[in-house]
Chains A and B, each alone.
Chain A
């Protein structure tokens, strides 16, 4: 077990014991990755905000059901990605007027818009594999575990996703 997982295990136990600081530290450690996963899968900042928050809330609500406290990180990602995939058919809500300024401040031009568009064009299942593997650095066996799919499925989804991205970007295969 690495240091991160060991530390997480202690925080989970403390949080279950009622420690708010421990819960807050869990949040601080994992929120950026949870949000990044949601943003990668959904391709939309506001929907990522909602999905990542919903996933984080659900994780803390159900903290007692986590069998291995050291596995909080992957467990949270599983919840968040599921929230994204289950909720992806929801239509975008109208944005109330008072959110307009926040939205303006939140509109961030991706540094590589062509690639961002290509990733958005992937199916959500493929996007999830790409995001977990490349954005969050999980190995394919870990990705498979998080998504609840076979390792071979994770490999094939990643391979097809890369092929599709190359095609979309007109990058020669193998370059």
Chain B
């Protein structure tokens, strides 16, 4: 019957879905088209810049580290329904009650961003008592309590010991120095190498204007992104960082990269191809793609909320 042809036509239509990249571009453009006075309204990066940024990041996903959070071993033991007592360290002194209250509220907001119900954080007796839902996924505690410090570095200019693959143990640091951990996976084994970094990061959480967790439910294999847009100052810093890398690459005829680091762990190490981007990436933002939706939600929540005021460790 004619229904056969009509069914074939319908099936063909059902299989037609937009790509994640097209959805991302269109969403940004459409929301910016909404006519309303908004102090924070920013132009979504034009197609060329956005795609280039996406590719720059996506191109290095293969070597991107799996996120490792800094909470001490044992802290991530699931505590469904129970309370976990966490003490705060403000760096040079014990955390104040005000810092702990701010930290508790940020933890709860992270849970909201991650779409997790039933998380409650209270300040009790100079510590935070954190309650998780009974069906909490493994890793939720670390996702909620990780510091969430974002940093971007010019890899070639700021990372030391890059030539010999870093060191197997964290090196000692001097003034103005820090350490990046890079976890690498190969043939069922993982290893962590440590690199010394000199100088301040080119960008930090303060340069992030907004973070979106973007997903395309229409694709058969969803590839979610964490998409960050930058403040005007962040856009300038990102442009300067990527332009410097592009110009160095053009002169030396090789690819250089920058490091996206979260809580001292390398998340991604995108290269800038000077042939495609001779002036770097101007405007807009960047994307991180980790593949695991839970990790993406965690990273989005941490970057959006910014670093916790204090570092948390389990009591006892």
Q: Would you call B276 and A18 a contact (CB within 8 A)? A: no
With a cutoff of 8 Å between Cβ atoms, the chain B residues found around residue A97 in the complex are 275-276
Q: Would you call B26 and A53 a contact (CB within 8 A)? A: yes
With a cutoff of 8 Å between Cβ atoms, the chain B residues found around residue A32 in the complex are 17-18, 218
Q: Would you call B15 and A98 a contact (CB within 8 A)? A: no
Q: Would you call B27 and A31 a contact (CB within 8 A)? A: yes
B251 at the interface (CB under 8 A from A): no
Q: Would you call B29 and A57 a contact (CB within 8 A)? A: yes
Rounded to whole Å, the gap between the CB of A137 and the closest CB of chain B is 8
A77 at the interface (CB under 8 A from B): no
Q: Would you call B12 and A15 a contact (CB within 8 A)? A: no
When A and B form their complex, what is the total count of cross-chain residue pairs whose Cβ atoms lie within 8 Å? 144
Rounded to whole Å, the gap between the CB of A158 and the closest CB of chain B is 10
A39 CA / B21 CA spacing, docked (Å): 15
B73 at the interface (CB under 8 A from A): no
With a cutoff of 8 Å between Cβ atoms, the chain A residues found around residue B30 in the complex are 23, 27, 31, 53, 56-57, 59-60
Q: Would you call B18 and A40 a contact (CB within 8 A)? A: no
With a cutoff of 8 Å between Cβ atoms, the chain A residues found around residue B36 in the complex are 18
Q: Known contacts A49-B26, A171-B5, A175-B4; is A60 also within 8 Å of B12 by CB?
A: no
Q: Would you call A175 and B10 a contact (CB within 8 A)? A: no
A18 CA / B283 CA spacing, docked (Å): 24
Q: Would you call B48 and A136 a contact (CB within 8 A)? A: no
Segment 10-37 of A: residues with Cβ below 8 Å from B: 15, 18, 20, 23-24, 27-28, 31-32, 35-36
Most chain-A CB neighbours within 10 Å: which of B5, B10, B17? B5
Rounded to whole Å, the gap between the CB of B21 and the closest CB of chain A is 5
Rounded to whole Å, the gap between the CB of B29 and the closest CB of chain A is 5
With a cutoff of 8 Å between Cβ atoms, the chain B residues found around residue A166 in the complex are 5
Q: Would you call A63 and B34 a contact (CB within 8 A)? A: yes
Rounded to whole Å, the gap between the CB of A8 and the closest CB of chain B is 15
- Tell me which of B2, B5, B14, B21 contacts A106 (CB under 8 A): B21
A58 CA / B8 CA spacing, docked (Å): 32
A165 at the interface (CB under 8 A from B): yes
A150 at the interface (CB under 8 A from B): no
Please name the residue on chain A nearest to B216 by beta carbon.
Answer: A32
Q: Would you call A135 and B13 a contact (CB within 8 A)? A: yes
Q: Known contacts A40-B16, A56-B29, A98-B55; is A49 also within 8 Å of B22 by CB?
A: yes
With a cutoff of 8 Å between Cβ atoms, the chain A residues found around residue B16 in the complex are 35-36, 39-40, 110, 135
Q: Known contacts A39-B16, A49-B18; is A98 also within 8 Å of B9 by CB?
A: no
A53 CA / B273 CA spacing, docked (Å): 28
Q: Would you call A60 and B2 a contact (CB within 8 A)? A: no
A131 at the interface (CB under 8 A from B): yes
A111 CA / B21 CA spacing, docked (Å): 21
A3 at the interface (CB under 8 A from B): no
Shortest 7 CB-CB contacts between residues of A and residues of B = A135-B13, A35-B18, A49-B22, A53-B26, A57-B33, A98-B276, A134-B9
Chain B contact residues, CB within 8 Å of chain A: 1-2, 4-6, 8-19, 21-23, 25-27, 29-31, 33-38, 48, 51-52, 54-55, 58-59, 218, 273, 275-277
Given A56-B29, A174-B2, 18 more A-B residue pairs with CB atoms under 8 Å apart are A18-B38, A35-B26, A36-B16, A36-B17, A57-B33, A58-B33, A102-B21, A106-B21, A110-B12, A111-B11, A111-B12, A112-B8, A130-B9, A162-B2, A162-B6, A165-B9, A174-B1, A175-B1
23 CB < 8 A contacts A-B: A15-B34, A23-B30, A23-B34, A27-B30, A28-B27, A35-B16, A48-B22, A49-B22, A53-B25, A56-B26, A60-B33, A61-B35, A98-B48, A98-B55, A98-B273, A98-B277, A105-B19, A105-B21, A111-B12, A112-B11, A135-B16, A174-B1, A174-B2
